[in-house]
Amino acid sequence: MLRLSLALACLLAPPAYAQMRLAEGELPLGLVDARLLPGWTDAAGNRIAALELVLEPGWKTYWRSPGDSGLPPSFAWDGSDNLAGVVFHWPAPEAISSGGAQELGYHEHLVLPFTASPTDAALPLTLHSQIELGLCDNICVPAQLDLSAPPPGTLPDSRIKAAMADTPRLVEDLPECRIDAIEDGLRVEMALPSETPELAAIEVEGKPDLWVSGAEIEMRADGPVAVAEMVGPEAAPFPLDPSALRLTVVSADDAVESFGCRLSP
């Protein structure tokens, strides 16, 4: 079934978020605590730090690619000093219920590690971030945070190391895939490496203007397959390089991801 109307709706607006005005210093509804963990500086001069969110019981927040209509977090780094770039290390996502649909995210507590690279490794690197994200229980609220990290510690933080250990492991074997044109975009199928997948996500690197549906897992005779639809601004088929596809698969005892795929003959 084509998803044009849903895709356009999601491109234009996030889910129905309750709007509310916050007093200065007040946390958004659903959040108990939000901070940047100071982390440490590695041998190359990079800062290893993390965003930590503590949510009210029952509340959820979203992964980087949550599904059909979730609101992924976004980060700006205005006010940081000596910062060249940031790379996030996303822990394996969990299934969350958002507005009656299954999305991908985290329940009640999130430590999201990142590596901050300095412009000059000989100078101090300070971190200040403006963060927008969605928080959901029976309703969804937009959260806007303005956080600064304390100076880095001298030893690695066990909370950050544990979250980094929970990131999906990279597999180099490329999955087989199939890319077909549909009326308003593309349908992508990717073979899954696990025989018992619980969650899957298909992303496209370098195409932020694409709407990508949540991946549905289909159990077939030759193994499980993740299926997603993609719609661009033109609402028409478009060329897609298979090497731009990113697959994440979560099973009961493992989480893996791969970059690129082999087109089925």
Does residue 153 share a domain with residue 116? yes
Check residue 100 and give its pLDDT: 66
Mean per-residue pLDDT for 185-191? 98
Q: In this prediction, what percent of the chain has a pLDDT beyond 70?
A: 89
Domain-located, residue 71: yes
Check residue 102 and give its pLDDT: 82
- Give the CATH number, domain containing residue 74: 2.60.40.1250
| DSSP string over the chain | ---HHHHHHHHH--S-BPP----TTPPPTTEEEEEEEEEEE-TTS-EEEEEEEEE-TT-EEE-SS--SS----EEE-TT-BSEEEEEE-PPPPEEEEETTEEEEEEESEEEEEEEEEESSTTS--B-EEEEEEEEESSSEEEEEEEEEPPPPBSS--HHHHHHHHTSPEE--SPPEEEEEEETTEEEEEEE-S-SSEEEEEEEETT-TT-EEPPPEEEEETTEEEEEEEEE-TTSS-----GGGEEEEEEETTEEEEEE--EEP-
Does residue 194 share a domain with residue 130? no
pTM of the full structure: 0.88
- Give the CATH number, domain containing residue 214: 2.60.40
Check residue 13 and give its pLDDT: 40
Domain-located, residue 2: no
Q: In this prediction, what percent of the chain has a pLDDT beyond 90?
A: 80
Domain-located, residue 22: yes
Count of domains for the chain? 2
pLDDT, tens only, 238-257: 999 999 999 999 999 999 99
Does residue 124 share a domain with residue 92? yes
**Rounded-to-10 torsion of CA 111, 115, 116, 120:** 150
Please provide residue 148's backbone torsions phi and psi, each rounded to the nearest 5 degrees: -120, 145
Among 120, 147, 165, where does a domain finish? 165
197 touches 84 (CB < 8 A): no
117 touches 77 (CB < 8 A): no
pLDDT, tens only, 81-125: 999 999 999 999 999 986 667 899 999 999 999 999 999 999 999
90 touches 50 (CB < 8 A): no
Beta-strand relationship, 47-55 and 31-41: antiparallel
Does residue 142 share a domain with residue 195? no
pLDDT category, 22, cuts 50, 70, 90?
very low
Domain-located, residue 126: yes
Domain-located, residue 93: yes
Check residue 68 and give its pLDDT: 85
Check residue 85 and give its pLDDT: 97
**More confident call, 70 vs 85:** 85
pLDDT, tens only, 42-64: 999 999 999 999 999 999 999 99
Among 165, 185, 213, where does a domain finish? 165
Domain-located, residue 106: yes
Check residue 1 and give its pLDDT: 39
Among 144, 165, 186, where does a domain finish? 165
Does residue 174 share a domain with residue 134? no
Domain-located, residue 10: no
Does residue 133 share a domain with residue 232? no
Does residue 149 share a domain with residue 50? yes
Domain-located, residue 198: yes
Does residue 95 share a domain with residue 130? yes
Does residue 76 share a domain with residue 192? no
Beta-strand relationship, 211-212 and 74-76: unpaired
Structural domain boundaries enclosing 216: 169-263
Does residue 209 share a domain with residue 154? no
Distances (CA, A) of 155 to 52, 85, 86, 129: 18, 22, 20, 23
